[in-house]
Amino acid sequence: MKKYSLDTNVLIEPWNKYYSVEICPDYWQIIDDLAKAGIVFCAEEVRHEIEKIDDGLLGWVKYRPYIFRTPDEKVQEIRIQLIAN
């Protein structure tokens, strides 16, 4: 099964501009369901960016800690290589 890493803007932009939970609750339910199934996730850095602003999105993610993952050593090594090049 493929897994997908979601960037910060997959959460922040829709929350603030296009798909607020009031307008499009299905968008958020799908992300939640996919995260529970282990198909999508966000790196811990995404959580840190969201925590900079105390808003509804922060409240939403606080109840969904399973969305976030800490990159393992192999991923960290690849990141370092990508940044270096």
Domain membership of residue 29 as a residue range = 4-84
Calculate mean pLDDT across residues 3-27. Answer: 93
Residue 17 pLDDT more than 80? yes
Total structural domains within the chain: 1
**Helical spans, DSSP H, in 1-85:** 9-13, 25-36, 44-50, 56-62, 73-84
Q: What percent of the chain has pLDDT over 70?
A: 96
This model's pTM is above 0.85: no
Calculate mean pLDDT across residues 19-31. Answer: 95
The set of residues, in sequence order, having a beta carbon less than 8 Å from that of 35 and lying 6+ positions away, is: 41, 64, 66, 67
Residues 8 and 46: their CA atoms lie apart, in Å, by: 5
